[in-house]
Structure 1
Amino acid sequence: MTPARGLPRLTAGLARRVRLDLDAHLAVHGPLDLDARAPGALIDATAEAGLRGRGGAGYPTARKLAAVARGRRPIVVVNAAESEPLSRKDGVLLEAVPHLVLDGALAAARAVGAREIVLAIPAGAGRAHASLADAVADRPDTRGVTIAGVPRRYLAGEESALVRHLGGGPLRPQVVPPRPAQRGLRGRPTLVQNAETLAHLALVARHGGAWFRALGSAARPGSALVTLTGAIARPGVYEIATGTPLAAVADAAGGTTEPARGVLIGGYFGAWSATAAAWDAPLDATLGSGVLCVLGESACPVAELSRATSWLAGESAGQCGPCVHGLAAIAGALQALQEGTPDQRTTSRIARWTGQVEGRGACHLPDGVARFVRSGLALFAAEIEDHRRHGPCAACSRVPVLETPSAIGMAA
């Protein structure tokens, strides 16, 4: 059965079900015949589709496939660590449509010549693990597939740190080159792809690149899963055509529950935007991890910035000085702003420190923190000045909108 050219795509068939078992999956999407075309044909179709990674970096999927295909005895790693605390999309895929993710992983393995697939999911993700394990057991084509639990840490989503951990090492990023595509798990070329990216790849393998491009924006074709959270009537995971304005997504979720102070687009590696500007802007290149958080007026943006940045600083791998010391200093300065105890140079120091940490780590954690903090300081300048003059506000002690693992009961 060929899905409609519009929506839904990844979530097709879920209107009446909470999970597609193998029979339901085949009824919705039809079989995937990996022997019907040469391995290189899928790479060509993926290039035509313009599919980019949905994990946050947005790297062209076809380039990764081609790079790994040139190596010997490659491995495929499905990155479903979902280390962005506000994101829920990969968990929804694993729980609701695990066979689509498996199809994509198997198609990728066929394209690059891999016989081994590792599915990396958060440790303790019981429902996702059970759904995935049942799906693997139900299929005759998953002999080389294993499921591995990874720590619920922010760096678990960084591909070099993930590969290092899966190989028995510490969860720390590695200096590149070589990249995992060149030398990854057990020293072999490793394709690391986000779970959503591979679910899209399963559909490209069935319907081709032109079909994929029939939906979405020219810059980032296709559909995308977004996690809508914050001051929203029905928060959750939604499938949208890329290029859709945030206003349309919010309307589909029942609208906002209160006036908004601003919107965080792309999660903790994204940036804050004024509500009016964000509302009509197309969601494509700015999507990042697919997180859209509407911060309502009842929340304190200064407290939200401070708490989230403190958590991000604590997620450092502890191996790069600018990250360890720089992020801690930025977090401390933000805490002083929240508490109303800064000096006259606090905000200028933060601006200087965010510039100094960028590009100076083995991974991009400092870059993400710098973008998150700078955009927040610019958008919430009035609230920051109010805290500087008068100290904490009544909203500072409210339940955080920007969740972190400690705030939502997840083990570190």
Structure 2
Amino acid sequence: MTVLDSRPAPVAYGTARLLAGVTSGRPADLARHREHHGEQRFRGHGELAALADQVRLLGRGGAAFPVGTKLRAMPAGGGTHVLVNGSESEPASQKDRTLMRLAPHLVFDGALVVARALGTRRVTIVLHDPVSERTLAAARGERRDAADVRLVRTDGGFVSGEVRAAIRGLNGGTAVPPGRRVLPHERGIDDAPTFASNVETFAHLALLSSLGADRFAAVGSPEEPGTTLLTLVGDLPHPGVVEVPTGLPLSALLPEQGASPRPVLVGGYHGSWISDVRGLRITRPSLRAAGLPLNAGVIARLSSATCALGEVAAVSSWLADQSAGQCGPCFFGIPAVAHDVHRLLAGIDSGGDLERRVAHLPGRGACAHPDGSAMFVRTALAALGDEIEAHRRYGTCGQPWRHELPTSTQAGAA
């Protein structure tokens, strides 16, 4: 396999599991994959669901839904589908692309573990990234058991990566979330029951099936055993993808920044800005209890050399551009919020309009995009108080905008 990844090599804090054999930044061919992971062990439907329950495995996408519950809800049989959602559409997130580019056989193992448990051969991997597609295609050519796995590359934006939008696109429709909430296990690809999750979740299922519950849970927090992938952005020692044991203090990723540390973004562009990370640990349940959903695993901290409000304004405009345009909060609300953030950047006070718009967005859209966009802006307004005050008074904070928060998924994708 000769497909190379141009981004920094990923880093493991502790023993690499998902990243075993690939922290060099070179993709693992089948021989090297088996050297590190061994032959894949398969489990029955009930056994796999029970293992996922034992280790309290949560989905590694946005919803963090219990995987065992999702597996148990799936009917078995040749008509069911398995969907690996590799549509990693948030520019700041790189973890799923890292697995597809560097550990493609682990992704195939996870997909085939689920397919074998459900008694189906219908497996689809949907993705946006051409490098990932080439790497997966090369890996598929190395193994007979993956010959039937379908790779589908789509051209889509942020909301098209939502699993129901991806399914709608695969079924020939427009890749936007349907207004009516129909779960994939009820009706998915070809209107058949579909087990769908993101790439990292399938990789964990491959590890869990091979290791068993006890070995899988030998690292990490008892609350959420194992490891997780994060994408670190900005002023951090190891920007890029890292694998960490769950339960690691968030502060371990954020060394001292001086007398006035910048706020930290937890959960990416549908996440929250916070000023104090003390006491926070990297588990999805504990972060959610603190009002900080980890979402796709993005942790960002800006340097003191960039205008933080400018970074927020750029992302708010990107979020507005990603609107599906199918409901009022998306079509009107998010662009209006972005407009007001840019006015604030220029020192023009919105007179409370921005705060009111942000407060009215959540809970009214056809998907979670308005809710997440509102959280990103609302928490930024609270966390960046001093800088916002400088912009209100002087029209600037004195720092240039350095594009530290990416707004294009094309970086490193060619």
Partner of 1:173: helix, strand, or coil? coil
Work out whether residues 258 and 297 of structure 1, in 8 Å CA contact, stay in contact via their aligned partners in 2: no
What is the CA–CA distance in structure 2 between the aligned matches of 1:256 and 1:154, rounded to whole Å?
A: 32
Inter-CA distance 167–256: structure 2 relative to 1 (3 Å threshold):
farther
Once the two structures are superposed, residues 211-251 of structure 1 have per-residue CA deviations (whole angstroms, 9 ceiling, x without a partner) of 22222223322100111110124311110011211232346
The aligned amino acid for 2:349 is: P
Asked if 1:120 is matched to 2:123, the reply is: no
- Residue 341 of structure 1 corresponds to 348
- 1:93-108 equivalence runs, <5 A: 93-108=99-114
What is the CA–CA distance in structure 2 between the aligned matches of 1:264 and 1:313, rounded to whole Å?
A: 19
What is the CA–CA distance in structure 2 between the aligned matches of 1:269 and 1:293, rounded to whole Å?
A: 12
Work out whether residues 231 and 260 of structure 1, in 8 Å CA contact, stay in contact via their aligned partners in 2: no
307, 310, 314: which is aligned to 1:300?
307
Q: Percent identity?
A: 39
Inter-CA distance 406–47: structure 2 relative to 1 (3 Å threshold):
closer
Partner of 1:261: helix, strand, or coil? coil
- 1:313-392 equivalence runs, <5 A: 313-343=320-350, 345=351, 348-392=352-396
Inter-CA distance 15–155: structure 2 relative to 1 (3 Å threshold):
closer
Larger mean CA deviation between 45-54 and 257-266 belongs to: 257-266
Once the two structures are superposed, residues 39-94 of structure 1 have per-residue CA deviations (whole angstroms, 9 ceiling, x without a partner) of 32111111112111111211111111122236871111111111111011111111
- Residue 248 of structure 2 corresponds to 244
What is the CA–CA distance in structure 2 between the aligned matches of 1:111 and 1:76, rounded to whole Å?
A: 11
- Residue 41 of structure 2 corresponds to 33
What is the CA–CA distance in structure 1 between the aligned matches of 2:131 and 2:259, rounded to whole Å?
A: 33
What is the CA–CA distance in structure 1 between the aligned matches of 2:277 and 2:242, rounded to whole Å?
A: 17
TM-superposed CA distance for 1:394, in Å, is: 3.5
What is the CA–CA distance in structure 1 between the aligned matches of 2:242 and 2:274, rounded to whole Å?
A: 20
Inter-CA distance 199–17: structure 2 relative to 1 (3 Å threshold):
same
TM-superposed CA distance for 1:323, in Å, is: 2.0
Inter-CA distance 10–258: structure 2 relative to 1 (3 Å threshold):
farther
Partner of 1:85: helix, strand, or coil? coil
Partner of 2:305: helix, strand, or coil? coil
TM-superposed CA distance for 1:118, in Å, is: 0.9
The TM-score, its normalising length taken from structure 2, stands at 0.89
Considering fraction of residues, name the structure with more helix: 1
TM-superposed CA distance for 1:273, in Å, is: 1.0
What is the CA–CA distance in structure 2 between the aligned matches of 1:308 and 1:131, rounded to whole Å?
A: 30
- Residue 68 of structure 2 corresponds to 62
- Residue 271 of structure 1 corresponds to 272
- Residue 23 of structure 1 corresponds to 31
Asked if 1:225 is matched to 2:226, the reply is: no
Once the two structures are superposed, residues 359-398 of structure 1 have per-residue CA deviations (whole angstroms, 9 ceiling, x without a partner) of 1112100110111111100011121121112113432x43
- Residue 192 of structure 1 corresponds to 196
What is the CA–CA distance in structure 2 between the aligned matches of 1:383 and 1:162, rounded to whole Å?
A: 39
197, 203, 208: which is aligned to 2:207?
203
The aligned amino acid for 1:65 is: L
Work out whether residues 155 and 161 of structure 1, in 8 Å CA contact, stay in contact via their aligned partners in 2: yes
The aligned amino acid for 1:319 is: Q
- Residue 281 of structure 1 corresponds to 280
TM-superposed CA distance for 1:157, in Å, is: 2.1
Asked if 1:150 is matched to 2:158, the reply is: no
The aligned amino acid for 1:283 is: I
- Residue 3 of structure 1 corresponds to none
What is the CA–CA distance in structure 1 between the aligned matches of 2:269 and 2:259, rounded to whole Å?
A: 22
What is the CA–CA distance in structure 1 between the aligned matches of 2:339 and 2:99, rounded to whole Å?
A: 37
What is the CA–CA distance in structure 1 between the aligned matches of 2:410 and 2:141, rounded to whole Å?
A: 35
Gaps of at least 5 residues in structure 2 are: 1-13, 288-293
Work out whether residues 66 and 112 of structure 1, in 8 Å CA contact, stay in contact via their aligned partners in 2: no
Q: CA RMSD in A?
A: 2.2
Once the two structures are superposed, residues 289-332 of structure 1 have per-residue CA deviations (whole angstroms, 9 ceiling, x without a partner) of 11111111122121111111111011110001122111111111
Inter-CA distance 95–267: structure 2 relative to 1 (3 Å threshold):
same
- Residue 398 of structure 1 corresponds to 401
50, 53, 59: which is aligned to 2:56?
50
Work out whether residues 65 and 111 of structure 1, in 8 Å CA contact, stay in contact via their aligned partners in 2: no
85, 88, 113: which is aligned to 1:82?
88
The aligned amino acid for 2:17 is: R
The TM-score, its normalising length taken from structure 1, stands at 0.90
The aligned amino acid for 1:399 is: R
What is the CA–CA distance in structure 1 between the aligned matches of 2:86 and 2:174, rounded to whole Å?
A: 18
The aligned amino acid for 1:265 is: V
Gaps of at least 5 residues in structure 1 are: 1-5
Once the two structures are superposed, residues 322-351 of structure 1 have per-residue CA deviations (whole angstroms, 9 ceiling, x without a partner) of 2211111111111110011224x2xx3222
Work out whether residues 160 and 175 of structure 2, in 8 Å CA contact, stay in contact via their aligned partners in 1: yes
Work out whether residues 43 and 111 of structure 1, in 8 Å CA contact, stay in contact via their aligned partners in 2: no
